[in-house]
Amino acid sequence: MTFARISGTGGYLPERVMTNHELETIVDTSDEWIRDRSGIRQRHIAADNETTSDMALSAAREALAAAKVEVADIDLIIVATTTPDRVFPSVACTVQRKLGIHDIPAFDIHAACSGFMFALDVANRFVKTGGASNVLVIGAEIYSRILDWSDRATCVLFGDGAGAVVLQAAEEAGIVSTHIHSNGKHEELLYVSGSVGDRGTERQSDAAFIKMRGNEIFRKAVAALGNIARETLAGNGITKSDLSWLVPHQANLRIISATAKKLCLPMERVVVTVDQHANTSSASIPLALDVAVRDGRIKRGDLLLFEAFGAGLTWGSALVKY
């Protein structure tokens, strides 16, 4: 039987750091409120000439180097993003062009903050069924371009960045299981305004900006993430104490702590980057994974639980033997 294994990780964060104090000069907020309610201290913001595919490419190159895989050996590229350079082509096709390879399949997955979980699920299926053996799975987002910088309820929460993994065919898991869910019923709780046909000149309100009913999303996220953690453990016949690390989507430290508590995991076993990166949507899990792999906390053989929740609504998890 063939399994998929994470053989390398990579990450990219734009150079420019925006602190909470800088945000105090833009909207009616305070460093204290942002830290208390979300755990965020700073976020990285892409330069004007930087694109999602640029960031995705940098993260991918790091992951390939870590995995010691040549670009020419990649046989599938999947990018999770909701902030592509353009409506089309996909970021995955642009990354493919920038890597100088062609003819292999490359496509984007759109599942908002859960995007990396959906991308990992699809990539895992490709590898397990023999459709690919060296896959680049990337999460990359440039939310600074879809933030309303006059809306304090959203602009303080997000940041830009990219994370990537190389998934390779192996004789042992690897990706032990993936679990993905969607429910379109609550789409009004978190969405981007405007639609593809809008010309954007007559009505400023048509511009593409994130709109979020934060409090309601918060409660749904805590409930869904608790459920999916239970589903993942039960589905694999393991218990909370078998987990080495929780690598969660980084939306809010309070959501992360609530999930860790349900799993009886001390915060020392939880990878937290939300303080430094804020919410980078589908980039947040591969970025957090890369940070903890590179600083030596996550080691080969550790059992990891990834979990994410986002617009759609969408949510997902993966149990991973690193």
Residue type, 108: D
Choose between 138 and 221: whose C-beta lies nearer to ligand UT7: 221
**How far apart are CB 256 and ligand UT7 at their closest, in Å?**
10
**How far apart are CB 34 and ligand UT7 at their closest, in Å?**
6
Active site residue 113: yes
Active site residue 93: no
Task: Report the residue from 310, 312, 317, 319 that binds ligand UT7 according to the rule CB under 6 A.
Answer: 310
Interface mask toward ligand UT7 for 241-260; x: CB under 6 A = ----------xx--x-----
Catalytic residue among 110, 179, 249, 277: 249
* 14-34: b (≥16 Cβ within 10 Å) or e: beeebebeebbeeeebebeeb
Taking CB atoms, the residue at the shortest distance from ligand UT7 is 214
Asked whether position 215 contacts ligand UT7 by CB under 6 A, the answer is: yes
**How far apart are CB 308 and ligand UT7 at their closest, in Å?**
8
Choose between 66 and 308: whose C-beta lies nearer to ligand UT7: 308
∠ CA 214-216-254, rounded to 5°: 65
Q: How many chain residues interact with ligand UT7 (CB under 6 A)?
A: 21
Catalytic residue among 113, 134, 179, 252: 113
Which residue in this structure is represented by tokens 């009913």? 213
Q: Is 178 helix (H, G, I), strand (E, B) or coil?
A: strand
Choose between 38 and 94: whose C-beta lies nearer to ligand UT7: 38
Q: Which of residues 98-117 bind ligand UT7 (CB under 6 A)?
A: 113
Choose between 89 and 214: whose C-beta lies nearer to ligand UT7: 214
Asked whether position 221 contacts ligand UT7 by CB under 6 A, the answer is: yes
Choose between 121 and 307: whose C-beta lies nearer to ligand UT7: 307
Contact 172, 128 (CB under 8 A): no
DSSP 40-103: --EEEE--TT--HHHHHHHHHHHHHHHHT--GGG--EEEEE-SS-SSSSS-HHHHHHHHHT--S
Would you state the torsion angle of the CA atoms of residues 271, 119, 83, 101, taken in this order, to the nearest 10 degrees? 110
Q: Which residue in 322, 258, 289 sits closest to 162, CA to CA? A: 289
Q: How many residues does the chain have?
A: 322
Distance CA 203, CA 108 (A): 30
Distance CA 220, CA 217 (A): 5
Catalytic residues: 113, 249, 279
Name the residues that contact ligand UT7, by CB under 6 A: 29, 33-34, 37-38, 113, 152-153, 156-157, 214-215, 217-218, 221, 251-252, 255, 279, 309-310
